[in-house]
Amino acid sequence: MKHVLTIAGSDTCGGAGIQADLKTFSAQGTYGMSVITAVAVQNTQGVFGCQDIDPEIIKGQIDAIFTDIEVSAVKIGMVSQIPTIHAIADKLEQYQPKNVVLDPVMISKSGFDLMQPEAKEALITRLIPLAYVITPNLPEAEVITGLKINDLASMEQAARAIHKMGAKNVLIKGGHLEDDATDLLFDGENIVTLHSDRINTKNTHGTGCTMSSCIAANLAKGKTVEEAVRIAKLSRELGCGNFVKVEIMRDSKYLLPDNQETIRATEMLAKDGFIVMPYMYPDLNVARDLVNAGAASVMPLASPIGSNKGLATKEFIQILIDEIDLPIIVDAGIGRPSQACEAMEMGAAAIMANTALATAGDLPMMASAFKNAIEAGRKAYLAGLGRVLTRGASASDPLTGFLRD
């Protein structure tokens, strides 16, 4: 399990700050740790006071974590004063964690100033350059950049300005837009807009904390969709061609594909001219979405990667073969030539096999067996398999079919 550290303030009612971060880390399957920078006096009605923690105590908390535990990501939230910012920046520069997510908390929903005005410059010069991702909302981005932001064009302008301050990736959250709730992500080269319908609710306390800590937890667990896209683009530039197999997995134990993120990545890559072959958990609706996203084939798993357990998802793969017009390539879990033959008999266009060969006693002989099995299964499918009786029996001979015809 990955370890994720939050450096933020404490919210007495548990909806935001350290408490929200730790809940999010747990929900995302990571182990949460905390460094408290301030103690807020607040409830669902507002913030009524705040006590900053001594900077030396903050440094001591950070030292206690980094000298004992491997940290896969850091989320920074409420840092209200200049000495706090310098203390955190000094320690991050010392330990150099890979994934730092900065949520520049400046003002509470009720209007309470959570950052001293004079601390803005310290935030820009000390913490923003250390951020792998920074996640300001529109008012926070306006304070940081001095720009007026009210549409996607001004959001992009702000993202580019903040990127120049040193942040590697800038996520401008669009919850304060008048129409929808579109967020904008800029990585220094590409702009990605993330559209979503606005949810009309007053229960927005802690949403920014939850989002930034969720990003930190998932950075700790592996690559993002945008990273997968950049890898594919780099491969093409290196002459590896336009074919790309997409595998996006948030689950590190069973290596199950993240279907929704796979759809997103497929759409992005297909629009950029790639021939996309996505690995997915067999689901008809997801397969249809992949077709609409521009996939060149659909590659459902038979069973978990490397398990050699065979066609555990056989019935669902058959649905895809029957309903999807693209080639269905059975990927992951095929462990025996007989299983490969069965998949081909079902009508699969191809199967993927690696572990079955790599773990075989005689690799060349096993490869030959798979070749023969695949060819036999394909011929059987093209010939048309004989019918299966669910009840009773029926006497037959080789001429039965001819006589009926």
Catalytic residues: 245
- Residue 349 backbone dihedrals phi, psi, to 5 degrees: -75, -30
- For the chain, how many residues are written? 405
Question: What are the Cα distances from residue 239, in Å, to 84, 231, 247, 273?
Answer: 48, 13, 20, 14
Q: What is the DSSP letter of 312?
A: T
Among candidate residues 326, 257, 251, the one with its CA nearest the CA of residue 287:
326
Taking alpha carbons only, the member of 118, 110, 163, 125 closest to residue 141 is 163
With the C-alpha atoms ordered 67, 71, 76, 78, is the resulting torsion angle positive or negative?
A: negative
Phi and psi at residue 315, in whole multiples of 5°?
-65, -35
Q: CA-CA distance, 318 to 353, in Å (whole number)?
A: 19
Rounded Cα distance, 32 and 220, in Å = 11
Measure the N-to-C terminal CA separation of the chain; round to a whole number of Å: 64
- Cβ atoms 6, 22 nearer than 8 A: yes
Judge whether 87 and 7 are in contact, CB under 8 Å: no
| Calpha distance 74→56 (Å, rounded) | 19
List the beta bridge partners of residue 107.
113
Structural contact between residues 336 and 366, judged by C-beta atoms closer than 8 angstroms:
no
Q: Which residue has the tokens 């971060």?
A: 21
SS3 at position 1? coil
Residue 58 CA to residue 328 CA, distance in Å, equals 55
Question: To which residue do tokens 């394909």 refer?
Answer: 378
